Amino acid sequence: MRSGKRLLILVILTAALLTIPLWSQILDVATKPSPVEQIPEEHLTTDDHILLGARAEAAAGVRYDAGYYSVQYPGGDVPADRGACTDVVIRALRAGGYDLQVLIHEDMREHFDVYPQIWGLTEPDPNIDHRRTQNQITFLKRHGLDLTTDPDRTDQWKHGDIVYWRFPDGSQHTGIISDRTNRHGRPLVIHNASVTREEDCLTRWEIIGHSRFPH
């Protein structure tokens, strides 16, 4: 009986020790300033501001809502406490000085036929066009820098970059690349699939796009 108890205690202690590095990593992400957060304000680049704009969404705990909203133009936005995955990208780019609502709408006005025709529209809709992953991908392929989708080429992924995934059900998702990395050097991503968070998920789904804007 005593030997059985000793074995049980040993197993529990071993399990506890094995979880310490994992919890340390989680606490580090939650409390330790990232490399960009240690840069003086006057030295921040556009990419830095894009990253920090996305991180502000995670800090605010913005919840997922892909519903249609009538918003003003330009500078329109859905309620600040909610948004789709694409709204993380939109707000991050606005923090960097770029209004994706205007950029996509103006490009669609001139080149409507090159954008996906899957919603039955006959003209651009500035309330929703920029909030659709398909339109974002098309715009960025036309005006951004199209980069590798290989997650193992870690030197090609930079904070502020935009990643697009395909879920197993065929739907699409997007997020902003972080300046924090996992222990293998692969960047974390800030995204909103239920609530905006920063996590190690770059390889969780099929990567279908990787862009940098501006370039």
Residues 3 and 109 placed together within one structural domain of the fold: no
Residues 84 and 21 placed together within one structural domain of the fold: no
Confidence bin at 26 (pLDDT 50/70/90)? very low
Residue 123: is its pLDDT beyond 90? yes
Q: What is the pLDDT of residues 55-81, one digit of tens each?
A: 999 999 999 999 999 999 999 999 999
Residues 77 and 154 placed together within one structural domain of the fold: yes
Domain of 7 in residue numbering reads as 1-32
Backbone angles phi and psi of 155, in degrees to 5: -70, -15
Average pLDDT over the chain reads: 90
Residue 9: is its pLDDT beyond 60? no
Residues 50 and 72 placed together within one structural domain of the fold: yes
Residues 9 and 78 placed together within one structural domain of the fold: no
Residues 157 and 88 placed together within one structural domain of the fold: yes
Confidence bin at 101 (pLDDT 50/70/90)? very high
Distances (CA, A) of 131 to 9, 12, 78, 83, 185: 53, 48, 10, 9, 30
12 or 46: which leads in pLDDT:
46
Residues 117 and 203 placed together within one structural domain of the fold: yes
Residues 141 and 200 placed together within one structural domain of the fold: yes
Q: What is the pLDDT of residues 137-187, one digit of tens each?
A: 999 999 999 999 999 999 999 999 999 999 999 999 999 999 999 999 999
Three-state secondary structure string covering 59-104: HHCCEECCCCCCCCCCCCCCCCCEECHHHHHHHHHHHCCCCHHHHH
Residues 13 and 117 placed together within one structural domain of the fold: no
Q: Residue 100 is part of a domain; what is its CATH number?
A: 3.90.1720.10
Residues 65 and 116 placed together within one structural domain of the fold: yes
Residues 89 and 19 placed together within one structural domain of the fold: no
The pLDDT score that the predictor gives to residue 139 is 98
Residues 28 and 46 placed together within one structural domain of the fold: no
Confidence bin at 32 (pLDDT 50/70/90)? confident
What is the total count of domains within the chain? 2
pTM for the predicted model, two decimal places = 0.86
Confidence bin at 215 (pLDDT 50/70/90)? confident
The pLDDT score that the predictor gives to residue 4 is 55
Which residue, chain included where needed, has tokens 């989680």?
26
